Amino acid sequence: MPNILVVEDDAQLRKVLTNRLDELGFTHEVAGNGREALRKLCEATSQGVIYDCMLLDIVMPEIDGWQVLEAVKKNPLWSPMKVVVLTGYANTPSDVSKVANYDGVHIEKKGHFIEIVGELLDRLLSVE
């Protein structure tokens, strides 16, 4: 079963996302900010664990999502991981383009985005 790292500083939204992942049968870990995400990635790597996908918020304290995304794509052990960037702020075309340059997928946190995340994970991770 695919293993997902949820990186979101909003505890309530983090819970909604993990509940949805539970419903879909995904295993997951959570990080409340970018620094914690990088620590979890390092720990997982040292234990031979690979995350299949990361749900990544952009605006976070300590280390933001852009910095996490850059670190992930520079590390050959992490770069194959699928990244879904989640943001609740207005996005410029350059932000969307920046995500695409990192081979990521961009979703705005509005409307029924939780359902969209589930559908997208099914497609990205070929879950049947």
Domain ranges of the chain: 3-123
**Would you say 87 and 109 are in contact if contact means Cβ atoms under 8 Å apart?**
yes
Q: Indicate the pTM of the whole model.
A: 0.86
pLDDT tens profile 37-47: 999 999 999 99
pLDDT computed for residue 128 by the predictor: 47
pLDDT > 90: percent of the chain: 55
Write out pLDDT tens, residues 11-53.
Answer: 999 999 999 999 989 999 999 999 999 999 999 999 999 999 9
Provide the β-strand partners of residue 7: 31, 56
3-123 maps to CATH 3.40.50.2300: yes
Phi-psi region for residue 81, left (φ > 0), alpha (ψ -120 to 50) or beta?
beta
- Return the higher-pLDDT residue of 1 and 8: 8
What are the distances in angstroms from CA 75 to CA 34, 51, 79, 91, 105?
15, 13, 6, 26, 19
